[in-house]
Structure 1
Amino acid sequence: MHAEFIDVNDELASAPIGRMHVKLGILLALLTLFDGYDTFNPAYVIHYVREPWGLSLQQAGMLVSSGLIGFLLGAALHGAVADRLGRRVTLIAGLWITTIFSVLTALIADSFGSFCALRILTGLGLGVLLPLSTTYINELAPRRVANTFALWGVALGWAAGGAAAGLVGVFVTPLTGWQGLYWVGSLSLLLIPFLHLYLPESPKFALLRGRDEEVKAILEKLRPDRAQLYRGRSIMPPPLAQKKSVFALLEMPYRRLSFAIWATSFLSLFCIFGLSAWIPTLMQARGESFGASFAFGALMQVMSFAGGLVCGHLVDRTNRPRHWLFVWWLAGALAVLALVCFHQHWINVVCSAMAGFCIIGGQFVLNNFTAASYETDMRATAVGMELAMGRLGAILGPFIGGILQQAFGGSNVMLIAIGLAAIGAAISVLFARKHKHCRFESQAVRDEPATRAMHG
Structure 2
Amino acid sequence: MSGFVDNATLFSWCRFLAGIGFGGALPSVISLLTEYIPKSSKNKAITLALCGNQVGGILAPLVGVLFITSFGWRPVLWFSVIPLFIIPFMIKSLPESPQFLIRKGKLDDLERTLRKIDPDYKKQLIETEQEPEMKTEKIPFIGLFQNKLALPTILFCIVYFMGLLMIYGLNTWLPKLMETAGYPLISSLGFAIFLNGGALLGTIIIGILADRRGSKALITGLYILGAVCLALLGIKSNIFFLYLLIAIAGVCTMGNQSLLNAFVSQYYPAHVRSTGVGLANGVGRLGGMVGPTLGGMLLSLKAPIGICFIAFAAPGICAALALLLVRKKHDDPTVLQSEAELTLQ
**TM-score clears 0.5:** yes
- State which of 31, 37, 42 in structure 2 corresponds to 1:146: 42
Unaligned regions of 5+ residues in structure 2, if any? none
Distance 2:323 2:55 in 1: 26
Q: Which amino acid counterpart does residue 176 of structure 2 have in structure 1?
A: T
Q: Which residue of 2 aligns with 1:421?
A: 315
Distance 2:316 2:125 in 1: 50
Identity of aligned residues (%): 27
- State which of 135, 142, 146 in structure 2 corresponds to 1:251: 146
Would the aligned equivalents of 1:205 and 1:377 in 2 still touch at CA under 8 Å? no
Q: Name segments (4+ residues, structure 1) moved above 6 Å.
A: 442-445
Distance 1:234 1:284 in 2: 58
- State which of 135, 150, 166 in structure 2 corresponds to 1:271: 166
Distance 1:106 1:410 in 2: 37
Distance 1:180 1:352 in 2: 30
Q: Which residue of 2 aligns with 1:128?
A: 24
Would the aligned equivalents of 2:162 and 2:287 in 1 still touch at CA under 8 Å? yes
Q: Secondary structure at 1:216's aligned position in 2?
A: helix
Tell me if 1:219 matches 2:114.
yes
Task: Tell me how large the CA RMSD over aligned residues is.
Answer: 2.7
User: 1:221 deviation in Å?
Assistant: 3.2
User: 1:201 deviation in Å?
Assistant: 0.6
Q: Which residue of 1 aligns with 2:14?
A: 118
Would the aligned equivalents of 1:262 and 1:390 in 2 still touch at CA under 8 Å? yes
Tell me if 1:175 matches 2:67.
no
Tell me if 1:365 matches 2:262.
no
User: 1:235 deviation in Å?
Assistant: 3.0
Would the aligned equivalents of 1:206 and 1:212 in 2 still touch at CA under 8 Å? yes
Q: Which amino acid counterpart does residue 313 of structure 1 have in structure 2?
A: I
Q: Secondary structure at 2:268's aligned position in 1?
A: coil
After superposition, give the CA deviation of every residue in 1:189-214 in whole Å (9 maximum; x if it has no partner): 21112112222212233224432222
Tell me if 1:166 matches 2:58.
no
User: 1:233 deviation in Å?
Assistant: 8.9
CA 1:428 to 1:105, structure 2 compared with 1: closer, same or farther past 3 Å? same
After superposition, give the CA deviation of every residue in 1:372-427 in whole Å (9 maximum; x if it has no partner): 01111111001101111111111111112211221244544332111111111111
Tell me if 1:188 matches 2:188.
no
Task: Trace 1:282-321 onto structure 2 (pairs within 5 A).
Answer: 282-319=177-214, 321=215
Higher RCO structure (Cα 8 Å, ≥6 apart): 2
Task: Trace 1:22-41 onto structure 2 (pairs within 5 A).
Answer: none
Q: Secondary structure at 1:105's aligned position in 2?
A: coil
Unaligned regions of 5+ residues in structure 1, if any? 1-103, 450-456
Q: Which amino acid counterpart does residue 312 of structure 2 have in structure 1?
A: I
- State which of 299, 308, 320 in structure 2 corresponds to 1:405: 299
Q: Which residue of 2 aligns with 1:374?
A: 268
Distance 1:448 1:324 in 2: 24
After superposition, give the CA deviation of every residue in 1:254-310 in whole Å (9 maximum; x if it has no partner): 112112211111111111111111112223334444444334323212211322222
CA 1:182 to 1:247, structure 2 compared with 1: closer, same or farther past 3 Å? same
Tell me if 1:331 matches 2:228.
no
CA 1:242 to 1:128, structure 2 compared with 1: closer, same or farther past 3 Å? closer
Would the aligned equivalents of 1:372 and 1:442 in 2 still touch at CA under 8 Å? no
Q: Which amino acid counterpart does residue 216 of structure 1 have in structure 2?
A: E
Q: Secondary structure at 1:329's aligned position in 2?
A: helix
Would the aligned equivalents of 1:335 and 1:351 in 2 still touch at CA under 8 Å? yes
Distance 2:339 2:125 in 1: 25
Q: Which residue of 2 aligns with 1:107?
A: 4
Aligned pair count? 339
Distance 2:76 2:242 in 1: 25
Tell me if 1:235 matches 2:235.
no
TM-score in terms of structure 2 length: 0.89
Q: Which amino acid counterpart does residue 337 of structure 2 have in structure 1?
A: E
Distance 1:432 1:268 in 2: 16
CA 1:164 to 1:146, structure 2 compared with 1: closer, same or farther past 3 Å? same
